[in-house]
Homo-oligomer: A and B are copies of this chain.
Amino acid sequence: MSFVVKQTINIGVFDSGMGGLTVLKELIRLFPHAHYQYFGDTARLPYGSKSVETVAKYAKSSARFLQSQGADLLVVACNTATALALGPIKDALRIPVIGVVEPGASRASEVSHSRKVAVIATEATVSSHAYQRALKKRGIQTREKACPLFVPLVEEGWTEHSVTRQVAEIYLNELFADDSETDVLLLGCTHYPLLSALLRQLTPPRVAIVDSAESTAAAVVQHFKKNKTLSQSQNSLPKLSFFATDSVEKFQRIGERFLGQHIEEVKLVQLKS
């Protein structure tokens, strides 16, 4: 089902790099008539290996930039920034903020019968235990596993490579070898949807794969539905703008893989802090 926007809605989508484009891709699919401004903090990526304080500082300045560009709502399309700094980001802005952790956890909870979920993510997201907390609230037991090689493998373009398959086998084996109950694998990093075909092949058939990109896009639609800013009337195309703090050429080239469509132009932005 696709929803249509009554008035022009500006949605800011923020990530440390290009991974959040998988969330934008889902947003465009579900909600094709909004204006989207995507901001990748590529000069300071990756957030995944940095501390809470540093991630919070970087994320707040990036979020403020999108607010200053007229965003009506901010999507924190970055698991690390959501896991480590959603509170500080919300406090720093006056517009509503939706992160990726709650929608992902909520969807996992809807799908799981055994109430046992496995989460794969970056080192920082796993260390924060943000998914574990979000799932515990829903009565779910969680196993978490950091998969630090997945992001560079995806960025190398090796999404179907035999090396990636082996790395995935090693990581997933640690999660599922001695476990016959977990029935959901939650992808807690926006790069991982590009590996979903491979992960599907390597995960026991009883296990459903839940992708926080999809769940988050659905949560955004839900937000506007609840606030009655959606109707079936309008029929304009989505308007897309892209900003990055570094390497706009690389963003354009690699970003298209994540977004699944051509990226016309990426504007370079300098942030003070």
Interchain CB contact (< 8 A) of A163 among B42, B49, B152, B170: B170
A132 and B153 alpha carbons, distance in the complex (Å): 27
Q: A163-B170, A166-B163, A166-B166 are in contact. Are A49 and B250 (CB under 8 A)?
A: yes
A247 and B47 alpha carbons, distance in the complex (Å): 12
A163 in contact with B156 (CB, 8 Å) = no
Main secondary structure of the interface of A (DSSP, over half): loop
Assess whether A246 is interfacial by the CB under 8 Å rule: yes
Assess whether A95 is interfacial by the CB under 8 Å rule: no
Q: How distant is A16 from chain B, measured CB to nearest CB, in Å?
A: 12
- Chain A 56-77 near chain B by CB (<8 Å), digits 1 or 0: 0000000000000000000000
A246 in contact with B51 (CB, 8 Å) = yes
Task: Name A50's closest neighbour in chain B (CB-CB).
Answer: B246
Assess whether A26 is interfacial by the CB under 8 Å rule: no
B153 in contact with A49 (CB, 8 Å) = no
A54 in contact with B149 (CB, 8 Å) = no
Assess whether A200 is interfacial by the CB under 8 Å rule: no
- When distances are taken between beta carbons in the complex, the residues of chain B under 8 Å from A54 are 43, 245-247
Assess whether A44 is interfacial by the CB under 8 Å rule: yes
From 128 to 163 in chain A, residues with beta carbon under 8 angstroms from any chain B beta carbon are: 148-149, 151-153, 155-156, 162-163
Q: Which residues of A contact B (CB under 8 A)?
A: 42-45, 49-51, 54, 148-149, 151-153, 155-156, 162-163, 166-167, 170, 245-247, 250
